[in-house]
Amino acid sequence: MTEVRIIGGALPNIPWEEKPEGHVKPLWRHSSNPVIKRNPAKDIARIFNSAVAPYEGRYIGVFRTETDTTRPHLRLGHSQDGLDWKIEESPIQFQDEAGNPYQPRYAYDPRLVKVEDTYYIIWCTDFYGAAIGVAKTQDFKTFTALENPFLPFNRNGVLFPRKINGNFVMLSRPSDSGHTPFGDVFLSESPDFVYWGKHRHVMSKGGEGWWQNVKIGGGPAPIETSEGWLMFYHGVTGTCNGFVYSMGAVILDLEEPSKVKYRSRNFVLTPEEWYEERGFVPNVVFPCATLQDADTGRIAIYYGAADTYVGVAYTTVQDIVQYVKDTHEEVADDAGIGRL
Amino acid sequence: MTEVRIIGGALPNIPWEEKPEGHVKPLWRHSSNPVIKRNPAKDIARIFNSAVAPYEGRYIGVFRTETDTTRPHLRLGHSQDGLDWKIEESPIQFQDEAGNPYQPRYAYDPRLVKVEDTYYIIWCTDFYGAAIGVAKTQDFKTFTALENPFLPFNRNGVLFPRKINGNFVMLSRPSDSGHTPFGDVFLSESPDFVYWGKHRHVMSKGGEGWWQNVKIGGGPAPIETSEGWLMFYHGVTGTCNGFVYSMGAVILDLEEPSKVKYRSRNFVLTPEEWYEERGFVPNVVFPCATLQDADTGRIAIYYGAADTYVGVAYTTVQDIVQYVKDTHEEVADDAGIGRL
């Protein structure tokens, strides 16, 4: 294979551990996972499914935080090294576009994506049911909630880190009003972050294996590489004792990201460790963010574990892209049938 | 009450029958309903849930047509008087925006709405599940399918008959992938019919009565009146033997149509006649279109009956607006909680 490159900036202080000797899987876990444990700060019971980004030479994060009330909200956190996190004492305070205070009734599974000079937070919000909420900030002091991009019911809104053909591009996973037992990934475009359209189906649950046969959903913002958009996502299977969430990987076409180029038939991470198998929701790995260093090809993946912990896993762009290509399967519904 | 007026054009040849002597309900049925019966033409088993509009001094309709295959598609029909219909022998042939032939895999429950000089067809289409499909025509010869306005799953897309504050406005009813057991009416705006946003919740299932306690959905295009947008809609209740679909009426604010002004606590029509109680889906009245005459205030409502027939009912703007105001109830969720 020709050399695969990350298209993007250098991040020399990316959290990193070398692949363990003899490791044969495409991802390897941080050796002292989970990096955020139970009761990580006063009044916080659990932090998981959270997003991080480089900011001013250090790291900032938007965290899914649950207090002892077990209602999720979002808090900021700060870290020098991306592993040791200090969580703020209060929830993020949003305002609406007129400058009036605005708080979502609940907020969970945030993503944090920088496009041009603005950071966007995308989360699951209450809009007469689960829907995609969005807000923007440039300084992590003022957070302006924007128009909901889509009607309910929807989850797992994921923004691409740059405009494509002049438009913002967002993935989402249309859902129902409960613990949705189905779901594919779609893509939508917007010229202005107010009005969205040109909706396309991207990829389906299913395939040969069972790990993603109930539903799938976007994860971290896709990573631009010389082979296409590398996207980690979650895939869900059902058992007699509930859902099991694994992590998958796919490569989308750079200019037409609703087209799947390569899609691994295998999960790339599945619950194995105690912090993934045990917790509020057992058997969940749920990726929400990555950091990457274009100079070395290193990728650090942040994932929620068992709806209780934050874990970190590592790979390189060379390793994961090769793995996805080697284990590629075509899934019929990914071909764009019924475009309109 | 001050005189209520329809804001719009005259339609002197509107189908019409006077209110029967002693009739106490807000709507009355056409005396020779159903106006379209079973097996109305060669190879057509049933026509129902269809939309009509005045066109060049006569009437034109877009019909939900089912052949003996029981897969719905759309056909044009023509009528001099709005009651006696001649249905075309072939389905409507769509093209995409590049001019290539395009047929939805299925199409049902069309609405037909003229905005400015263009007629828009809105229907339930297959987009990896039920979603809103749209097409436009100016001559009823060329039909151009446009971008799907919303992600799945959605049904009952209803366009307002004029732009409001410069934007197209569409109602819809977010759904799930099956026989949805929930559902409220939302509203979305578009500057260009490509990108949609500023989504608002309009009205909820529920209220004091039971007839609309499972789900509700938009019906005909709202009628502009001096009291607000008069909208007929369907409300659904559940029984041990399945859903029952009735017709309701609501008045929305003219300039902010996501705001409910008056909402009748009562159905205004419910299955009573044999053609409403018996058929492929028993116990359904499902309004999809109206004709109205601003000079007289007369309104003719077209509704599907038992997913088998087309029925017509009549009222006047004075009668129905007075009835909705007299039987108004406030429903808490209609107040716009959680706007963003």
The hierarchical CATH code for the domain B28-327 is 2.115.10.20
Shortest CA gap B135–chain A (Å)? 11
Amino acid of residue A153: F
Question: In this predicted model, what pLDDT tens digit does every residue of A276-334 receive, in sequence order?
Answer: 999 999 999 999 999 999 999 999 999 999 999 999 999 999 999 999 999 999 997 77
CA distance A39 to chain B (A): 30
| Regions of chain B short of the pLDDT cut 70 | 1-2, 335-340
**Residue A206 contacts B where some CB pair is shorter than 8 Å:** no
Residue of A151, A155, A333 best to disrupt the B interface, most CBs of B under 10 A: A151
Does the CA dihedral B263-B264-B267-B268 come out positive or negative?
negative
- Name the minimum distance, in Å, from the CA of A191 to any CA of chain B: 8
Q: Could you report the average pLDDT of every consecutive run of 10 residues in chain A (340 residues)?
A: 90 98 97 98 96 98 96 97 97 96 96 98 96 98 98 98 98 92 96 98 94 97 98 97 97 97 97 98 98 98 98 98 97 63
Chain A residue at shortest CA distance from B187: A151
Inter-residue contact A234 to A286 (CB < 8 Å):
yes
Instruction: Judge contact between A259 and A239, C-beta under 8 A.
Output: no
pLDDT of residue A336: 57
Length of chain A: 340
- Residues from chain A that touch B172, judged by Cβ atoms under 8 A, are 151
User: How does DSSP classify residue A282?
Assistant: S
Compute the C-alpha angle A37/A43/A45, nearest 5°: 35
pLDDT tens across A144-170, in order?
A: 999 999 999 999 999 999 999 999 999
Flag whether residue A102 sits within 8 Å of chain B, measured between CB atoms.
Answer: yes
Helix %, strand %, coil % of chain A (to 5): 5, 45, 45
Q: Give the residue from chain A lying closest to B189, CA to CA.
A: A195
CA B46 to chain A, closest CA, distance in angstroms equals: 26
Do B340 and A145 count as a contact with CB atoms less than 8 A apart? yes
Q: What angle do CA B86, B91, B93 make, to 5 degrees?
A: 125
Looking up tokens 């965290």, which residue turns up?
A63
What is d(CA B37, CA B31) in angstroms, rounded to the nearest whole number?
14
Alpha carbon distances (Å) from B33 to A125, A315, B230: 47, 69, 24
Residue A340 is nearest to which of B148, B184, B338, comparing CB atoms?
A: B148
pLDDT value at residue B340: 45
What pLDDT sits at residue B336? 57
Name the residue of chain A whose CA is nearest to B104's CA: A338
Sort out which chain A residues have CB atoms less than 8 A from B201's CB and list them: 127-128
List beta partners, residue A190: A168
Nearest CA in chain B to A333: B128
What are φ and ψ of residue B125, in 5° steps? -120, 170
In sign, the C-alpha dihedral spanning B283, B287, B291, B294 is: positive
Nearest CA of chain B to the CA of A147: how many Å?
A: 6
Q: Do A191 and B190 touch (CB under 8 A)?
A: no
B98/A contact by beta carbon, under 8 A: no
Cβ(B184)–Cβ(B175) below 8 Å: no
Q: Verify whether the Cβ–Cβ distance A195 to B197 is below 8 Å.
A: yes
Cβ-defined contact of A197 to B125 (cutoff 8 Å): no
Is the Cα torsion angle A255, A258, A259, A262 positive or negative in sign? positive
**Segment (H or E) for B259:** none
Q: Does A126 touch chain B (CB under 8 A)?
A: yes
User: Chain B contacts of A184, Cβ < 8 Å?
Assistant: 128
Chain B window 285-314: which residues touch A at a Cβ cutoff of 8 Å? none
B133 part of contact set with chain A, CB < 8 Å: yes
Beta-carbon contacts below 8 Å between A and B: 111
